[in-house]
A and B are shown apart, each in its own frame.
Chain A
Amino acid sequence: MDITDFYDTFFEEAEELLADMERHLLEIDLEEPDAEQLNAIFRAAHSIKGGAGTFGFDVLQKTTHLLENLLDHARRGEMPLRRDIVDTFLETKDMLHDQLDAYRNQEEPDQAAFTRICQTLQQLAREEIGQELEAAASAPEDTGNAPTATPPAHTADTTTDSVAVASPTSEQLLAVALLNVGEKDRGLLVEELGQLGTVQAHHGDEECYEVTLLTGVSRDDIEAVMCFIVEPEQLQIRHAENEESVPEASPQAPPQSEKDPASPAKSETATSPAPLTTGGASESGRPKAKKAKAGGESSSIRVSVDKVDQIINLVGELIITQSMLDQTVSELDGVTHGGLLNGMNLLQRNARDLQEAVMSVRMVPMDYVFSRYPRLVRDLAGKLDKEVELVTEGESTELDKSLTERIIDPLTHLVRNSLDHGIEDPDTREAAGKPRIGRLTLSAQHQGGNILIEVIDDGAGLDRDRLLAKAHESGLSVSDSMSDDEVWQLIFAPGFSTAKEVSDVSGRGVGMDVVKRNIQGMGGHVEIMSRRGQGTTTRIVLPLTLAILDGMSIKVGSEVFILPLSTVLESLQPSREDLYAMAGDDVVLKVRDEYLPVVAVHEALDVKGAKTQLKETIAVIVQGEGRRYALLVDDLIGQQQVVVKNLETNYRKVPGVSAATILGDGSVALILDIADLHRLSRAKKEARRPQRASIDYETLLQKEREPS
């Protein structure tokens, strides 16, 4: 095992730290910055720097170093925070993220970008603190925190082992105590320490193992490195020679049990390198923050999605096996096999519970999605000179992981649209009697088996007249008598945009149709509600999961198919009077003053032995991709939840079919794709047409020849 094994851990941790940093930067109150938050941001930068230094990620280390120095000034109140400064910090954070990605892909980060960000940070330092930052150090010996040019005023009350006064080049003798560390990790840690300095001695047992180290690396850096292997609680670092002069550490002399985690020594060895200068708030805040983090780690584990999917598949199999057994057992005599039947009932209940529990593993809170918008809204509002307040509701609403990933793009588009077209600039808002600050609400809630995600703005609302005029221009067939809902749907037409000018935010008209298609691809749909001058609400309705589907099983001939229940509107027995033949072999069905095209499943899917007499069939009215039509089937079997199985894993895409499932008897049934089925049926009719035309032509020719 060597140091590269820790790369992944570092990348993951660094990513989380960066996310933390961004969250705090966005939340921070510019007027009255919260000391604890500033500390948290600082700590994040510092931890990344420590790790980057150890792993030799030079560019990353240098960038974080500059950022850290600035943050250090900020948290000590030596540098006032302004919006543009926070912007710079955020930009730096993005840059760090890019650098991290580059290292992860084993590439060198963009050098030009690095130089640029260094200049920006240096300039900021010159303007705000009136001093040059010390050049970023490349050697880990130099990663001491505070700029040496300004000996901080607080040195008086620091203890001798404080890193702030430890000269970067001087070597010191440190005693590193490892508490309750297993033998394997211990060897690794000693080896690791050997890379940071000279190990002079190591001895002890599992409970407390002491390593004496001669090193120029600061305590915090040592700790930052060690923390990739052990918990901070398991670590104690102090000066080896002058133990007596460290009053905080000596009472904590090893052995110290883990049961005493809130000891002063722990807060002393916390990741924050400089002594506490910001007062009581951070003193009490720091250990608390650490505890919260430790709690979070123990209550969750990282598992790859593949593993979870495998479990879900297996549970799906279990359910199928269980229902197969159920069918067999249901034929048995209840009196003689009472015990077996009871057992089966219990099995059924347990299997369902298990399925639900497993499905919930895949569920992630919407917070995962919503958390990326504060930044976006902030940046965009700045760019558009608008003032926008973002409100999120229902962050804890859960949604299937695969869906959350696919919802991000459409949702981002809607948010951008709301900011660009919806919310007006502050002056216009004031003139209209609205507060200057616009309000954008993102909300999520469950409704039945669906999740509703809404993007609500209190902006200008959609302009009916302009939409209609634009539609005329684009050659869409519209009339003034269309209902509002129909007019709003126009914005989903391809190439449709009402933006007066194309900006880099929106207005190219390539967006909303893609949004709609994406959401339909996930089995959902979009609704728009808008009031002129009061705002627009875009509502996305999605199924909770793609792995399980509420289906209606139908029979055609001897074959069973599944219709997604969400597409089924109603079913009825068509009477002859309601069926009208159209040109060619098209048939329409009249349902309550509406004429619907008819698609016979047996024709589209070549089912043999199906009922062809219209009188015997059942019409299921379905809706897919906004198209409504009547599907002719032989029989309705019933409703059931089915586990969706991909056909493409081993086969290929089948026209008119979205996926497959396994029925209770172990046989496979195909799940019909309503929109695609309509296309398939049209294509088939299309294919038949020229054939008939040529026959007609020939008979016509023959007839003409006959008289002669």
Chain B
Amino acid sequence: MTSLSQHADYATSEAQNREFLVFSLGEEEYAIDILKVQEIRGYENVTRIANAPEFIKGVTNLRGIIVPIVDLRIKFHLDKVEYGGQTVVIVVNVGERVVGIVVDGVSDVMTLTPEQIKPAPEFGVTLSSDFLSGLGSLEDRMLVLVDIDKLLTSEEMALVDRSSK
């Protein structure tokens, strides 16, 4: 009986823990819900789209599907935007859409307990706290938890036609 209740406890705490994919943009560490991530691939062969905002790098062929690629470094006004061997595209599923986001690198997958997730403070202009699901604190690190759904479907990302939203 005890083992059963223990198991149940374990299960509930397990359910509340969330796994995040941690990636870096410049010096900062960000994280998104791992369930949103479809795959991780290199940055290559992107076809530019005319008259699109600068942070939309273009579209690429992901096994026959045309996927837009967004460079979050440009979106977040990072100083150094370079494309090299370490540059990584995280392919995420947002609603029924597939979008690739360019980041400087992917480090690891972290499990955060509810206690480790702190509410996000009011932020500056570049990244509205609307797009954050909180801050993750780990001993000496701080992860910015991005609500990728909200961010990518927001009007300022210009990824979605307003009419089709």
A: residues with CB less than 8 A from B are 313-314, 316-317, 320, 559, 604-607, 645-657, 660, 662, 666-670, 680
Docked Cα-Cα span, A559 to B50, in Å, equals 11
Max count, chain B CB within 10 A of own CB: residue among A607, A647, A651, A667: A651
Q: Give bound CA distance, A652 to B70, whole Å.
A: 13
Pairwise interchain contact B59-A649, C-beta atoms closer than 8 A: no
Name the A residues within 8 Å of B48 (CB-CB): 559
* Chain A contacts for B51, CB-based, 8 A: 605-606, 654-656, 680
Known A605-B50, A646-B66, A670-B49; contact A652-B59, beta-carbon cutoff 8 A: no
Interface residues of B (CB under 8 A from A): 45, 47-52, 58-61, 63-68, 97-99, 158-161, 164
Q: Are A654 and B65 in contact (CB under 8 A)?
A: no
How many angstroms from the CA of A29 to the CA of B159 in the assembled complex?
60
In the docked arrangement, what's the CA distance between A670 and B46, Å?
A: 12
Contact A662 B59 (CB under 8 A): no
A648 and B67 in contact, given A606-B50, A666-B61, A667-B47 (Cβ under 8 angstroms): no
B64 in complex: contacting residue of A316, A604, A605, CB < 8 Å: A316
**Is the beta-carbon distance between A653 and B161 smaller than 8 angstroms?**
yes
Q: Give 8 CB contacts A-B under 8 Å.
A: A559-B48, A650-B98, A651-B66, A653-B161, A655-B50, A657-B50, A668-B66, A670-B49
**Bound complex: CA A604 to CA B64 (Å):** 27
Cα–Cα distance between A655 and B50 once the two chains are bound (Å): 8
> Separation in Å of the A644 CB from the closest CB of chain B?
11
Residues of B with C-beta under 8 A to A649: 65-66, 97
Partner of A652, one of B50, B64, B98, B158: B158
CA distance A167 to B157 in the complex (A): 74
Chain A nearest CB from B76 CB (Å) reads 21
**How far, in Å, is B68 (CB) from chain A's closest CB?**
4
Which A residue sits closest to B56, measured CB to CB?
A651
A662 touching B61 by the CB < 8 A rule?
A: yes
Q: Is the CB of B159 within 8 A of A651?
A: yes
Distance between Cα atoms of A608 and B52 in the complex (Å): 15
Contact A662 B97 (CB under 8 A): no
List the count of A-B residue pairs having beta carbons below 8 Å apart.
76
Rounded to whole Å, the gap between the CB of A205 and the closest CB of chain B is 49
Determine whether the beta carbon of A660 is less than 8 Å from that of B59. yes
Given A648-B161, A662-B61, A667-B61, A654 and B50 contact (CB-CB distance below 8 Å): yes
Task: Verify B64–A313 contact, CB threshold 8 A.
Answer: yes
11 more contacts with CB within 8 A, not counting A605-B51, A648-B164, are A317-B64, A645-B64, A645-B66, A648-B161, A650-B97, A651-B68, A654-B52, A657-B50, A662-B66, A668-B58, A670-B47
Flag if A668 contacts B61 (CB, 8 Å). yes
Alpha-carbon gap, A653 to B97, bound state (A): 14
A659 (CB) vs chain B CBs: closest residue = B66
Q: How far is the CA of A668 from the CA of B57 in the complex (A)?
A: 13
Give every chain A residue within 8 A of B47 (Cβ-Cβ).
Answer: 559, 660, 667-670
Q: Which residues of A sit under 8 angstroms from B52, Cβ to Cβ?
A: 654
Q: Which of A320, A604, A650 has the most CB of B within 10 A?
A: A650
* Interchain nearest-CB distance for B142 vs A (Å): 32
**Are B159 and A668 in contact, CB atoms less than 8 angstroms apart?**
no
Question: Which of B50, B67, B68 lies in contact with A607, CB distance below 8 A?
Answer: B50
Which residue among B63, B66, B161 has the maximum number of chain A CB atoms within 10 Å of its CB?
B66
Q: Is the CB of A668 within 8 A of B97?
A: no
Bound-complex Cα distance A666 to B59 (A): 12
Collect the chain B residues with CB atoms within 8 Å of residue A650's CB. Answer: 65-68, 97-99
A666 (CB) vs chain B CBs: closest residue: B61
Complex Cα distance, B48 from A605, in Å, reads 10
> When the two chains form the complex, which single residue of A317, A645, A667, A670 contacts B45, counting CB atoms closer than 8 Å?
A667
Q: Which residues of A contact B49 (CB under 8 A)?
A: 651, 654, 657, 670
B contact residues around A669 at 8 Å (CB) = 47
Report Cα–Cα, A656/B49, bound state, in Å: 10
Cβ of B60 and Cβ of A652 under 8 Å apart?
no
Task: Find B60's partner among A654, A656, A668 (CB 8 Å cutoff).
Answer: A668
Shortest 9 CB-CB distances between A and B: which pairs?
Answer: A605-B50, A317-B64, A668-B47, A651-B68, A652-B161, A650-B97, A667-B45, A662-B61, A645-B66
Cβ contacts under 8 Å, B67 to chain A: 650
Q: How far is the CB of B28 from chain A (nearest CB, A)?
A: 27
The distance from the CB of A190 to the nearest CB of chain B, in whole angstroms, is 44
* Closest chain A residue, CB of each to CB of B50: A605
- Nearest neighbor of A661 in chain B, beta-carbon distance: B66
- Beta-carbon contact of A604 and B66 below 8 Å: no
What is the minimal beta-carbon distance from B161 to any residue of chain A, in angstroms?
4
Complex-state Cα separation, A69 to B68, whole angstroms: 63
In this complex, the member of B50, B63, B159 whose beta carbon has the largest number of chain A beta carbons within 10 angstroms is B50
Q: In whole angstroms, how far apart are the Cα atoms of A317 and B61 in the complex?
A: 10
Q: Are B161 and A320 in contact (CB under 8 A)?
A: no
Most buried by B among A604, A607, A648: A648
Complexed CA–CA distance, A313 and B66 (Å): 12
Report the minimal beta-carbon distance from B137 to chain A, rounded to whole angstroms: 34
Write the nearest CB–CB distance from A635 to chain B, whole angstroms.
17
Within the complex, the shortest CB–CB distance from B111 to chain A, in Å, comes to 30
A42 to B161, CA, bound (A): 52
When the two chains form their complex, are residues B66 and A652 in contact, meaning their CB atoms are under 8 A apart? no
Task: Give Cα A317–Cα B48 distance, bound, in whole angstroms.
Answer: 22
- B-chain residues with CB within 8 Å of residue A314 when the two chains form the complex: 64
CA distance A607 to B50 in the complex (A): 8
- Name the residue on B nearest A319 (C-beta): B64
A656 / chain B contacts, CB cutoff of 8 Å: 50-51
Could you say which residues of chain A place their CB within 8 Å of the CB of B45? 666-668
Q: In the assembled complex, how far is the CB of residue A667 from the closest CB belonging to chain B, in whole angstroms?
A: 5
Are B59 and A647 in contact, with the CB atoms below 8 A? Answer: yes
Please, which residues of chain A bring their CB within 8 A of the CB of B159? 651-652
For the complex, what is the distance from the CA of A102 to the CA of B48, rounded to whole Å? 49
Complex-state Cα separation, A670 to B66, whole angstroms: 11
Who on chain B is nearest to A663 by CB? B61
Give the residues in chain B near A607, CB-CB below 8 Å: 50
Q: A559-B48, A606-B50, A656-B50 are in contact. Are A668 and B59 (CB under 8 A)?
A: yes
> Who on chain B is nearest to A606 by CB?
B50
Task: List the A side residues contacting B66 at CB < 8 Å.
Answer: 645-647, 649-651, 660, 662, 668
Bound-state CA distance A604–B50 (Å) is 8
Q: Which residues of A contact B65 (CB under 8 A)?
A: 645, 649-650
**Distance, CA A576 to CA B161, complexed state (A):** 42
CA distance A316 to B61 in the complex (A): 13
Query: Looking across the interface, which residue of chain B has its beta carbon closest to that of A667?
Result: B45
Instruction: For B58, give the chain A residue with the smallest CB separation.
Output: A668
Cα–Cα distance between A667 and B160 once the two chains are bound (Å): 22
A224 to B: closest C-beta gap in Å: 42
Q: Is the CB of B64 within 8 A of A662?
A: yes
Residues of A within 8 A of B158 (CB): 652
- Min CB distance B162 to A, Å, is 9
* Complex Cα–Cα for A655 and B49 (A): 10
Task: For A313, list chain B residues within 8 Å (CB).
Answer: 64
Cα distance A77–B139 in the bound complex, in angstroms: 94
A668 to B100 CA separation, bound complex (whole angstroms): 15
Q: Please measure, in the bound complex, the distance between the C-alpha atom of A605 and the C-alpha atom of B50, giving whole angstroms.
A: 5
A241-B48 Cα distance, complex, nearest whole Å: 82
Give the docked Cα–Cα distance between A620 and B58 (Å). Answer: 26
Residues of A within 8 A of B161 (CB): 648, 652-653
In the complex, what's the smallest C-beta–C-beta distance from A653 to chain B, in angstroms?
6
B58 contacts which chain A residues (CB < 8 A)?
668
- A211 to B64, alpha carbons, bound, how many Å? 56
